[in-house]
Structure 1
């Protein structure tokens, strides 16, 4: 494993999974939780928590790189791949981008992060509910890490693209800034190119 690790510039390695978020922590209520696929789609689809969790699961190991300069290697997640959700909808012509929405300060759709669609089709784009690493056996996400479900992006993106307390995916033809991008963070956020800010 060590031979494969690549630490992006300006990052340090940690065994811990630091917790960083803005606003309060979402309190999960299965009765009010839902997840909507919307935007440039032929027909919107909304899933209940039970419907979401019935989708096929994938286990994948992903490296995480936070813009605050920590990197954590070799965390294994179980979740539902982004591409699994694509099977539930028909996209309009010309969709190239998405925004992944999540909870922020009382609003289930208060946060979002933008990403290019083509980069999200592998096993390393997951809506995760549990994790493990060399120091922890399988455990559910902590509420502060995004319980019951958070998005983990491929390691070619800084972790702010990994929306916590997810609530939906908006499909877009043109790229649109999300929560942090509107405040001056990079639209593309590649840690290996140190794309922290615009």
Structure 2
């Protein structure tokens, strides 16, 4: 049985490079990963501390809002739930913003997501990948090295973040970088939720 291609998408075996701003240049001594927001205590992790967390390998599909879809890429990384396990969140926290570097600003890029769909193996902060045409290799700087968040296939790929830098836990949903520019808050490719609905207000519903 073939894979289901979301409406308006075409299949590719390539992994196109698309991002805003400059390619982040990783420096381990200055890099860290921050867990903050509606939590009892904020946590900042070094690169070594992040890489010492339990690892997960999962195969997923990627659907980009620019209309390409890539099936069956296998990633190794740290599952979202491993970071969630490190913090005690406040009552009623249901959403996160996942941040990434943009033109030198470590919180310049962000994507908002509900927590519940991120608890499986398919919500990964990845550092290496393979597919049927490529053996295991580190993700390149253009693809988000040292750490890139890949969302579940039930979201368009912009809900991920290259050069991931932190997670903010939130009680209320809040628009991220592309959502502030008119893109859908929910971003389900199978419902073709590319752009905000008519009730969208800049920054929030």
Scaled by the length of structure 1, the TM-score of the pair is 0.98
Q: CA deviation at 1:4?
A: 4.9
Task: Pick the aligned partner of 2:76 from 75, 78, 96.
Answer: 78
Q: CA deviation at 1:109?
A: 1.1
3-state SS of 1:157 partner? coil
Is the aligned partner of 1:187 residue 2:185? yes
Task: Pick the aligned partner of 2:30 from 26, 29, 32.
Answer: 32
Q: Deviations over 1:110-147 (max 9, x none)?
A: 11000000010000000000000000000000101000
In 2: Cα distance, 1:89 partner to 1:96 partner: 14
In the alignment, what sits opposite 1:160? 158
In the alignment, what sits opposite 1:103? 101
Q: CA deviation at 1:92?
A: 0.2
The alignment of Structure 1 onto Structure 2 pairs a total of residues equal to 196
After TM superposition, the structure 1 = structure 2 runs for residues 11-22 of structure 1, keeping only pairs within 5 Å, are 11-22=9-20
In 2: Cα distance, 1:116 partner to 1:136 partner: 32
In the alignment, what sits opposite 1:47? 45
Which contiguous aligned blocks of 4+ residues in structure 1 show a shift greater than 6 angstroms? Answer: none
3-state SS of 2:74 partner? strand
After TM superposition, the structure 1 = structure 2 runs for residues 53-132 of structure 1, keeping only pairs within 5 Å, are 53-132=51-130
3-state SS of 1:19 partner? coil
Q: Deviations over 1:7-40 (max 9, x none)?
A: 0000000000000011000000000100000000
Where in structure 2 are there 5+ consecutive unaligned residues?
A: 197-205
3-state SS of 1:119 partner? helix
3-state SS of 2:187 partner? coil
3-state SS of 2:27 partner? coil
Q: CA deviation at 1:87?
A: 1.0
Where in structure 1 are there 5+ consecutive unaligned residues?
A: none
In 2: Cα distance, 1:109 partner to 1:175 partner: 17
3-state SS of 2:5 partner? coil
CA spacing shift, 1:4–1:41, aligned 2, 3 Å: farther
3-state SS of 1:8 partner? coil
RMSD: 0.5
In 1: Cα distance, 2:85 partner to 2:63 partner: 29
In 1: Cα distance, 2:150 partner to 2:4 partner: 18
Q: CA deviation at 1:108?
A: 1.0
In the alignment, what sits opposite 2:132? 134
In 1: Cα distance, 2:188 partner to 2:175 partner: 15
